A and B are shown apart, each in its own frame.
Chain A
Amino acid sequence: MKILVCISHVPDTTAKIAFVDNNKSYNKEGQQFIIGPNEELALTRAIDIKEAKGGNITALTVGSAEVEPTLRKALAMGADDAIRVNMDPKDAFNVSKQIAEVAKANQYDVILTGREAIDYNGGQVGEMIAEWLIYPSVSGVNDMDLEPGKAILKREIDGGYEKIECDFPLIITGQKGIAAEPKIPAMRGIMMARKKPLIVVEPVQSDNATEVLEHSLPASKASCKMVSADDMNELVRLLHEEAKVI
């Protein structure tokens, strides 16, 4: 089983969000960057499956040299090798195109991405790769098993779940539930990661379909209107007449 896991390099979930250069760019100063939480869980599950059934896992990030510590962490968790596409990722159209090109050259059985990256919450890259490659895809997966030649998956749907089977090759976008907790690299893994291959490839020609012009922070919420605990009729009245939500 040849598995590719696409990893976004994103600010820690608890990071303070601030912007620089006229609010055009995210302020990276002093921020901790991590493996995107959705694909970290997908990677964890893939590693467990590989350790039980055999296979090879490649971790891939489209990014400049600053993303290499994130890829090294994926290697420390248990990926076998890593690829960095040397391009500043600005747009899903372009990023997915780059990943699809790597995939064409290497013929993976399974390509895993997260449901969304936690910086721009696009939720686009995985399904776009599927479309470039004309592969089937299953998105928002929260339970995954892989057998030689096929994937057995579950995903939540309105009021329940569905179980899906799909032959290789395919794209899976994973999310919470696909593994319980992300794997924490052991000391041995961290030592080994230094010796594992991390290949840098140059991007193919493609354009950014979108560009971020400017960021802003949400206005703070108007203050909370307090209602006496003895007057629930008043609360119901406000919800009906003022807020118009019931």
Chain B
Amino acid sequence: MSVLVYTENWDGQFKKLSFELISYASEVAKSYNTNVVALSIGNVDEAELSKLSQYGADKVLNLSNAAYTEFNAEYYAKAISEAAKSEHAQVTIFANNITTRAIAPRVTIKLDAGMVSGCVAAPESIEPFVVSKKAFSGKAFARVKINKDNKVLSLNQNAFGIKENVKAANIVSFECALETSKAKVVEVSKNSGKMSVLDAEILVSGGRGLKKPENFKLLEEASDILGSVATVACTKPVADLEWRPHSEHVGQTGKVVAPNLYIAVGISGAIQHLAGITSSKVIVAINTDKDAPIFEASDYGVVGDALEVMPKLNEALKAFKANS
């Protein structure tokens, strides 16, 4: 028996959430008194693979067959379910994101399993198997029981946190025969390799309160100071006005994000915007209106004019970075 985790990488580096998944799997494995097996697909070097053992992976399966470097839902689902079978995994764990949404349900059917997506905590019991998840787009939680022997879970980013749990790495290569798929990628476009708002750990987000597109320079500056984990986001009207690209638009009709830090600058906090940000770990609001609804959703608030506050914040961040 084991608990299997599918750990995603980006250009050979594990995403932070992969470490969170291993931490989560360690907790699940503890209840079963069993081991954590991580499966990595793609080109990841030994040093990077061994990082997984710092968070509790007992064994790392490395599928680095060149045919798997390009994502394909069918191939990936096949490889993961074969790994689950060969490792006798009772629970298979994924991150809850766009990529895994294409594969985890397929794995579920292949394993004749029950699946809960968007888990927010470790299972409260394993016999019966009950786990809590987000429902109604974050407006509620549901406790869900899985009635099948095999379980597939997808975890919401930041729901569990990263916990160190150092194990000895046992990295083994894993093979899986390929079939051909009819879905063919014919063109890929990557703009500047900037992290998408879905992956960034810090979002500096602007609303109509910034008054004009040029003022977003203040947010770009903050994001640059905070480093490659940070990027700029915006509200719907800002994207509709073409001050910023639609790929940055967050909310009910845009992206649903879950960064560690969401800095909302000149954003009123309309319910449709909040629908996209409430899974953020920490929210900071900067707004001239002390009664703006955004403050009710925030952990830290600053009442003030963004055009005056942001330069001060950028100075403070620069000083902080220089000293750290």
Q: Which residues of A contact B (CB under 8 A)?
A: 11, 13-14, 17, 19, 91-93, 96, 115-116, 118-128, 130-132, 136-140, 156-167, 170, 173, 176, 207-218, 221-222, 224-230, 232-233, 235-236, 238-240, 243, 245-246
Residues of A within 8 A of B146 (CB): 209-210
Closest B residue to A222 by beta carbon equals B299
Instruction: Determine whether the beta carbon of A160 is less than 8 Å from that of B299.
Output: no
Given A124-B115, A207-B147, A215-B142; A232-B315 close (CB under 8 Å): yes
Nearest A residue to B141 via CB reads: A216
User: In the docked arrangement, what's the CA distance between A167 and B182, Å?
Assistant: 6
User: Would you give 28 A-B contacts (Cβ < 8 Å), ordered by A?
Assistant: A96-B105, A122-B117, A127-B104, A136-B74, A136-B183, A137-B183, A139-B101, A140-B101, A159-B190, A159-B193, A161-B188, A163-B185, A209-B113, A210-B147, A212-B145, A213-B142, A214-B143, A215-B135, A215-B143, A221-B296, A224-B299, A228-B302, A229-B303, A235-B284, A235-B300, A236-B313, A243-B261, A245-B260
Asked if B186 is at the interface of the complex by the 8 Å CB criterion, the answer is: yes
Minimal beta-carbon separation of B279 from chain A (angstroms)? 11
Cα separation A211 to B144 with both chains bound (whole Å)? 6
- List 7 extra interface pairs beyond A131-B108, A170-B183, CB under 8 A: A11-B136, A123-B117, A132-B109, A221-B298, A222-B299, A229-B305, A235-B302
Q: How far is the CB of A113 from chain B (nearest CB, A)?
A: 11
B199 proximal to A (CB < 8 A)? yes
* B6 beta carbon closer than 8 Å to chain A: no
- Per DSSP, chain A at the interface is mixed
Asked if B281 and A245 make an inter-chain contact with CB atoms under 8 angstroms apart, the answer reads: yes
Chain B residue with the shortest CB-CB distance to A209: B114
If the complex has contacts A124-B108, A159-B196, A227-B301, are A218 and B285 also in contact, measured as CB distance less than 8 A? no
Given A136-B183, A139-B101, A243-B300, are A158 and B195 also a contact pair (CB < 8 Å)? yes
Nearest Cβ distance between residue B197 and chain A, in whole angstroms? 11
Would you call B89 an interface residue if the criterion is a C-beta within 8 Å of the partner chain's C-beta atoms?
no
A217–B324 Cα distance when bound, in Å, is 40
Knowing A212-B143, A232-B309 are in contact, say whether A163-B304 is a contact too (CB < 8 A): no
